Amino acid sequence: MDNGSLDRWLHGSVLCSGYSMARTRSVQHVPLDWPTRLIVAVGAAQGLCYMHHGCSPPIVHRDVKTSNILLDSEFRAKVADFGLARMLVREGEPNTMSAVAGSFGYLAPEYAYTRKVNEKVDVYSFGVVLLELTTGRKANDGSELGCLADWARRHYQSGVSILDVIDRSIRNAGYPSEIETVFRLGVQCTGTLPLTRSTMKDVLRVLLKCCEQTLRKSRMEFSMEF
């Protein structure tokens, strides 16, 4: 894809080259702005929503992560790498895998303990992606807590301002309520119990609403500048 992976944009180095942005190995980091991050989140959510609710039988990806979300020239997201994907017998019913496979920081706890998978393991992994988009941290960067999901949950439950943990490059971009909403959604999606997590339909609904609000603010800001 023209713009590589989301992982490269959040945690690697990219070079601005006109309208399109090309990947390089050792150049200054150019952070994604909030509207672009939200567009990426919506695109990836649409892909997973189709897999879970539009396919018969449903498909579980099992390895949702930022390096498996690829971006085209318009930063539209494509979910990639289906090497670990599995079809479910019925929607919502778990399948038992012969072995645990996936990436540290993205694995749902019940999958690691029981080897049982359903759509909620993808919801958990996507929740980690949302936390990466809002905090700028890596999935395994949870300081002493080990992983980002546990770190974010602990911070959320502490009652401290969410803006304190938001990525500095978007913290003062003018979209505090939308960013906080997506952060909370990431925490909810990474709940330790599968039943507490939303479906991808519900996740997509929240993201689309945030996208509408962000677009409205962007248009107002553009009109004022003009």
Quote the tokens at residue 39.
């567009």
**How far is Cα of residue 129 from the mean position of the Cα atoms in its chain?**
3
CA distances from 184 to 152, 176, 188 (A): 9, 12, 6
Could you give the angle at the alpha carbon of 10 between the alpha carbons of 120 and 176, nearest 5°?
A: 80
Measured distance CA(122)–CA(106) in Å, rounded: 9
Contact 38, 178 (CB under 8 A): yes
**What type of residue sits at position 64?**
V
> Which residue among the candidates 7, 63, 122, 167 is catalytic per the annotation?
63
Q: Is residue 164 annotated as part of the catalytic site, yes or no?
A: no
For the chain, what is the radius of gyration of the CA atoms?
17
Name the residues annotated as catalytic: 63
